[in-house]
Each structure stands twice: as C-alpha cells, then as structure tokens.
Structure 1
Amino acid sequence: MSISSQAATATTMAEAVVDLTAIAHNTAMLAETAGTAGLMAVVKADGFGHGAEEVARTALRHGATWLGVASAAEALALRARGLTAPILLWLYSPAETFEEVLEAGVDVSVGAVEALEALAGAAERTGTVANVHLKLDTGMSRGGAPAEEWAQLLAWSRKFAHAGLLHVRGLWSHLANAENPDDPGLHTQLREFELGRQAAIAAGLDPPIVHLANSAAALQLPQARYDLSRAGIALYGIEPVPGRRFGLRPAMTVRAQILLTKRVPAGTGVSYGPDFVTERETTLALVPLGFADGIPRQAAGRASMAVRGVRCPIAGRVSMDQVVLDVGDLPVRAGEYAVMFGPGDDGEPTADDWAGWADTNPHEILTGVGARVSRRYEQHATAPPPAESRR
C-alpha cells in the first residue's frame, strides 16, 4: 500500500520506490543488535537519497533513538518538519554562529577549540546551553581533534561547562575499517578511543553518551557499541561487511518507463561514437534515465537493467537523460518498466551490482539518484511493530 509520495506531474517517467517496511525491518534489527545501547539513524544526504523525513519517522518508530546529519541545514529542516528526537550534526562552516542550531535543540560535534568558543558565544547570546559531542581523531585524519590536541580540547570544554555555557553530552570517533575485524589499524583505533575516553574522565568530564560504532561495527564489533551505535548504510539495507549477510533488506527500487522500442538489424550503431554496434538483429529500448539521474557513465559496457525479469545490457554510452537497452527478442512494448536496481528478489540488479560496475560503493549509487527521479513511499503489512510495542 502506498502511504505517501513526492509531488509529481503527469509527465513523470522515472521513480525511486522506497519500501519503508524495509527501513522498519533494518532499524528493528539494528536496535536489537545494539542491545542496551541506543541507535542513531543517520539520515544525512536526504536519507542517503531515500528521503530524510520519511526515513527518520520510520526509524524512530522502530527503535532508533537519535538522528544523525551532516549539516545545520539538514538538522533544521528536520526540526521544521516537526521531528523532536535528539539530533547530532558534525559538519559546519568556520563562520557558523550556531544560534539557530542551539535554539532548535540540536547537538553539535566539536573537534577544535575554535568551535567550542563559537558555541560558547552562541550559548551566551541565546541563553541556551550548548550540547556538544567531543570528537577524537583516532586515525582517519578527517574531523576530530588529533591526540596531541585532545587534552587542550578537554580543558576548554571543562572551562565552558563550568561557566554553564555547554554540556559535554557525548564523546565519539569514526572507524576507518570496521569491515575487517582483524585489521591492525582497527584495533589501534579502538585502543586510541578508549585512551581518549579515559583522559576525558580524568579531566573531570564523563559524557553520558559514548559512541564509536558505524554500521559494520554495530553488527560485528560489540566492543565498539558503547552507549550508541550509528547506522548509516545498513539502515537502507546495504550489507556493510563484504561476504557477510546479516538479513538487511534493501529499501530502494529505481525504475523507469520504456519510452520507445525499435527493431534494428545487425551492424546498427547505438548512442554516441558509436561505441556499441549490434552484432545481430535485436530490439532496442529507450529508457529515460541518464547520468543526470544517477547512472554512472563509467558503468557503460558492464551495466544492465531488468525488463520482464531479464537483465538487459546497456547498449552504448550513457547520455545525460537516457540510455538504450539491448532487449534482444523480448516482446517489449513502450510503457513497460525497466528496473535500474532493487532488492534483487526478482533477479534485477542491486545497488551493490551497480557499485561494482562503476568501481564505487553503494553509498554513491543511492545518493546519486537525482532529484528529478520522483520518490514514492510504500509500506506493507509485514513491517515489524513499533519499538514501544516490542518492549
């Protein structure tokens, strides 16, 4: 049963169907795996292309306790839509003043003294205590304070906390390779994080929420779960550990109507170049999805879509707005659907397949689905009961 949909016109030719039952299933499974720890549903990048608001509401009903976003704009958009759950954001401009963020009750990740000072200033101006999560760089060399600056960050945090301007609610870091539990670098990060946590306690700070586990760690590294697991790609049904299956369900299916079919002889060139010439008499099908809609150009020559349950290769280059499929002798007609990717239950390609064809990861495939591909939401009777009814 369809429960909501993005506004669309009569000319909509392509859609991403988001199965909220799958989001509910994945959330419930991740929450159960987390045990006594909480679960953060990471809904940055418009919920990995699935729709941040819809994913957030579903996840919060089925076991998530926090929401995670990249930017202030993403956090404020969720608040504007009436979502009141705790939110953590972790990327912002050096010029960010934080007034709106604090007034909206959004927590902020901090990895530098300058950001602490900006938050303290915003707290004074708004009369609001800033909730911060101190981030330690344990080895990714991205955000967070490096080990040599950690003591200084802790000292300034304690100073501003004593002044009543901020509350150190969390302490966190991010793992570079939680997919491989035998990776020496992973164990170094785990050790560095624990040392940083102990240093915070010794400095008089004992944040109530310590979090380290991403999707892969949440599923296979109990020692990384602490008080909160952060589920990103797993929330959307992509298995985060190569070679392992935890029972996640992919939530997105991208499909488009076939606009035109034509029977062509052997030796027919297709698309630019042409890079592709038919080897036999065949039927070609025109599909209104191109690189502006999220089809990676580098996947040409390897990628396929499913038509009538049969995988049909993309013939020739990917254009901005369209691709051509070689459907062989299938009796395909205009108006039928070609499936770019889905769960794979009916033999269609998956986001993992496309990631392999494009030499990237499924995250890029999901977030690359363009805005002109309308989103439609479905929920089925097999969804798990809401979290409160399971307790």
Structure 2
Amino acid sequence: MTPRPFREARIDLGAIAHNVRELKRQLGDTLVMVVVKSSGYGHGAVPVARTAVENGADWLGVVAISEALELRSAGVTAPVLAWLHDPEASFDAAIAGDIDIGVSYVEQLERVAAASGTASVQLKVDTGLGRNGAADSEWPEFFARAVEHERAGLIRVRGLWSHLANSGEAEDLEQIAAFERAIGLAKSAGLHPEILHIAATAGALRVPRSRFDLVRIGLGTYGLSPFDDATSAELGLRPALELSAAVASVKGMPANSGVSYGYDYRTAADTSLALVPLGYADGVPRHATNRGPVSINGRTYRVAGRVAMDQFVVDVGDDDVKVGDRAILIGDPATGVPSAEDWARASDTINYEIVTRLGGRIERTYLP
C-alpha cells in the first residue's frame, strides 16, 4: 500500500461528478456554471473543472483572469467567466484566451473595449448586494456605452448578471425584480445578451424564479450545503474533501498538565496526548481551540488547548492511539467523521471558509 502523505487533502472526484449530475438533475433545463475560484474552493481548480465539464457543466466560473488562464494552460476549453479585476489590469490575455470578462462599471468597460481584439463581456449590475456591479443610477450610461462599443466591434455583450444576497425570500424577490428591470433597460438600449444569471447554489435550489438562463454552482459542487436547515445528504450531495494527517507523536502526561500555549487546557487525569501536525498556517482555525472535532481510529475527540501555527494536541485518554494513525478533521459525516460544518460551528464561521482556507503544505491527492 502506498503511504499516505503526512498532511493530506484527499479529493473524491467521483463525489464531484455525482454532485454536478445531481444538481443538473434538480435544476432542469437551465445551464450550469461550476465555480472553481479560489483553487476550486480548496479542492483544486483544474481537476474539479475537468470533472465538472465531463459530467455536464456548461460553463466554469472564476474570480481572477489568472485563474481562467490556469484552466486554459491545462487544456480546459469550456467557456469561462472571470469577474473581479485589478483597476489597472490588461485584458489582452483574457481576450486571446477566449475568456468572458465580467464588467462592473463604465470605466472598466472602456478599458476592456480598448484592449486588443473583440472582448466577450458579461455586464454585472448591482441589484442589492452592494458589492461589485453597476449601481442602478449608472445603468443607462453603462448600457449605452456597451451598445456603442458592440456596434463598433470592440466587444460582444454575451451576458448580463447579478448576485443574490440570500437574506430572505422577500429580499431575493426584490433583487430578482430589480434584475428584470435591468434586463428591460438593457434590451431597450439595444443589447441582446444571450445569458442572464443571478443565482448561486442557494438561490438556484430554493428560488426557482432566480434561475433564468444559467445558475452558478459553487459550494454545492463540492458536496457542501449553503443552508443552515438542510444537510448535504438531504440535498442529495456528497462531500468531496477529506482532510487528515498522520499522528506525529503520542506521549503520556499526568493529571493537571497544561497543554499548548497559555494552558487553556489541563488534563483531567493521567492521559495520553496525540500531536496532529496541522495548524493555523495550514488553515486550521485557531478559533477552534478546545472545540474542533478530530476522528482517530473511529472515535471523535476535541482539540485540547490552543491550535498553534503548525500543530495541535488531542487528549486521547487511555485509547490505543499510535504514531502514524490517521487523524481525520473533515470528511463525509455519513462515514462517521467530522464535517466541514462541524468545524465551522467550532470556529464560529461558515463551511465555505473552512475548505477554502486550507494551506499549501497540505498535499492534495485525487480519487477517481
């Protein structure tokens, strides 16, 4: 048997394939963009992108042009949208790479139009999230300038899009109404975008009116739930990531021994302490001190004491834990191990942050 890496994020591409197929089944005829930004939510952009496209993804989504170019360099030819740009960015490489450029304001549109070649753009409008995207007061000028540049052959307006705040049904419907108003204004100005989209995973699953021509599936691709009231399994999804490390040392300690910095934990009795070589430099949240769950040999323990930069300690009592045993932090809860949601609760954060913060020392391996 090939030894497993000391620190490992094991990615089940079969789970990714299942999730893409299952989400497409649930969402019907709408096109699906699988979002692989931030290194595929920590899972690896290129392997996830390839698997997603092989299993029916129509589009891929990233934030940075550099992320899109990484996909192109790896031979991924599917349509890609990149949408958050340095104000001084050059768009030439994106145009040459047949990458759709998300455009959020008039000055940015002018820079894209001035780049070399005809850019395929998707105009973003702010319908209430308050982040990037043209404000409604800017829509008339935004659309008018896009029409001028399109007629001059400098750009092609392929899409119009926005983003839901997911703050409740009433607010979602208000945003959808605003988006529909933006669509009407764009068409009245002379634009004919072929792709309209506003929904990510949460909106796509819970607000059918938000689906339009395309939905952007990020978190769901990786088998994680965007909802507090529904698990991955209840959504028909399988978590794709298992984070683990080999136990680096085990030693006996007497009762009332202080553990890790500040002695925030003291042993209640004579015990054994197992050292796990993952810390906040690897993305393990320091906020999970004394709370983060860890499974070793089928039993779940809690982090004992503060999470340090490179390691943390687990109090395993008199259980038979040895150097080299696997300590599993995150996996599929259906197998009896902690989930990304468990770590999110232990760290007062969300599952998105838990998986995307995993650091570079962790070796990623892939199961077909």
Answer yes or no: is 1:333 the counterpart of 2:322: yes
Alpha-carbon separation, structure 1, partners of 2:267 and 2:120: 62
The 3-state SS of whatever aligns with 1:273 is helix
Counterpart in 2 of 1:284?
A: 273
**Distance in 2 between residues matched to 1:231 and 1:57, nearest whole Å:** 15
1:86 is aligned to 79
Q: Which of 279, 299, 314 matches 2:288?
A: 299
Of residues 44-53 and 200-209 in structure 1, the stretch that sits farther from structure 2 once superposed is 200-209
User: Any idea what SS the aligned residue of 1:115 has?
Assistant: helix
The CA distance in 2 between the partners of 1:345 and 1:262, in whole Å, is 31
Once the two structures are superposed, residues 44-90 of structure 1 have per-residue CA deviations (whole angstroms, 9 ceiling, x without a partner) of 00000100000000000111010100001101111111111110000
- Deviation per residue, 1:184-220 (Å, 9 max, x gap): 2212111101111111111111200001110011112
CA contact (8 A) 1:233 1:363 kept: yes
Picking from 174, 178, 187, the partner of 1:192 is: 178
Task: Please tell me whether the aligned partners of residues 309 and 346 of structure 1 are also in contact (alpha carbons under 8 angstroms).
Answer: no
Matches within 5 A, 1:123-202: 126=116, 128-177=117-166, 180=168, 182=169, 184-202=170-188
The Cα of 1:11 is off from its aligned counterpart by: 9.9
Quick check: 2:250–2:274 contact (8 Å CA) kept in 1?
A: yes
Give the aligned residue type for 1:258. Answer: V
Contact kept in structure 1, 2:199 and 2:215, CA below 8 Å? yes
Shift of 1:12: 4.2
RMSD: 1.5
Q: For residue 213 of structure 1, what is the aligned residue in structure 2?
A: 199
- Please, which of 263, 268, 273 is the counterpart of residue 274 of structure 1? 263
Number of the residue aligned with 1:55: 48
Please, which moves more after superposition, 39-48 or 239-248?
239-248
Quote how far apart the aligned CAs of 1:33 are.
2.3
Paired residue secondary structure (1:229): strand
Residue 375 of structure 1 aligns to a residue in which SS? Answer: strand
- Structure 1 distance, partners of 2:99, 2:45, is 16
- Residue aligned with 2:334, SS: coil
CA deviations on 1:303-325 (whole Å, 9 max, x unpaired) are: 12001111111111111111110
Q: What amino acid does structure 1 have at the position aligned with 2:200?
A: N
**Cα separation, 2, equivalents of 1:287 and 1:361:** 23
Q: Residue 66 of structure 2 aligns to a residue in which SS?
A: helix
* Counterpart among 244, 247, 252 of residue 263 in structure 1: 252
CA distance in 2, matches of 1:280, 1:171: 63
C-alpha distance in 1, partners of 2:318/2:220? 38
Is the Cα contact below 8 Å between 1:25 and 1:248 reproduced in 2? yes
Helix, strand or coil: the match of 1:73? helix
Hey, what does 1:314 align to over in structure 2? 303
Mapped to 2, the partners of 1:77 and 1:346 lie a distance apart of: 34
Task: Note if contact 2:293-2:342 (Cα within 8 Å) is conserved in structure 1.
Answer: no
Alpha-carbon distance in structure 1 between the residues aligned to 2:225 and 2:291: 22
Report SS of the residue matched to 2:159. strand
Q: CA deviation at 1:345?
A: 2.1
Query: Which one has more relative contact order, counting CA pairs under 8 Å at least 6 apart?
Result: 1
Alpha-carbon shift at residue 144 of structure 1 (Å): 0.3
TM-score by length of 2: 0.97
SS of residue paired to 1:235: helix
Kindly indicate whether the alpha-carbon contact (under 8 Å) linking 1:313 and 1:327 is maintained by their aligned counterparts in 2.
Answer: no
Give the length in aligned residue pairs.
Answer: 365
Contact kept? 1:86, 1:106, Cα under 8 Å: yes
| SS of match in other structure, 1:210 | strand
Partners of 1:313 and 1:36 in 2: CA distance: 45
| SS across alignment from 1:133 | strand
Which residue of the partner structure matches residue 338 of structure 2? Answer: 349
| Structure 1 unmatched runs, 5+ | 3-9, 380-391
Q: Does 2:198 match 1:230?
A: no
Partner amino acid, structure 1, of 2:333? G
SS at match of 2:337: coil
Task: State the SS of the aligned residue for 1:45.
Answer: helix
**C-alpha separation between the residues in 1 aligned to 2:4 and 2:279?**
17
Distance 2:324 2:357 in 1: 25
Unaligned runs of at least 5 residues, structure 2 = none
> Distance in 1 between the 2:273 and 2:240 partners?
29
Aligned positions of 1:12-27 closer than 5 A: 12-27=5-20
> What residue in structure 2 maps to residue 112 of structure 1?
105
Which residue of structure 2 lines up, in the alignment, with residue 371 of structure 1?
360
Inter-partner Cα distance in structure 1 for 2:334 and 2:324: 22
Q: 1:73 corresponds to which residue?
A: 66
Amino acid in the other structure paired with 1:338: A
Which secondary structure state, in structure 2, belongs to the residue aligned with residue 345 of structure 1? helix
Q: For residues 360 and 334 of structure 2, what CA distance do their matches in structure 1 show?
A: 26
CA distance in 1, matches of 2:267, 2:348: 26
Which whole-Å CA distance do the structure 1 matches of 2:363 and 2:328 have between them?
14
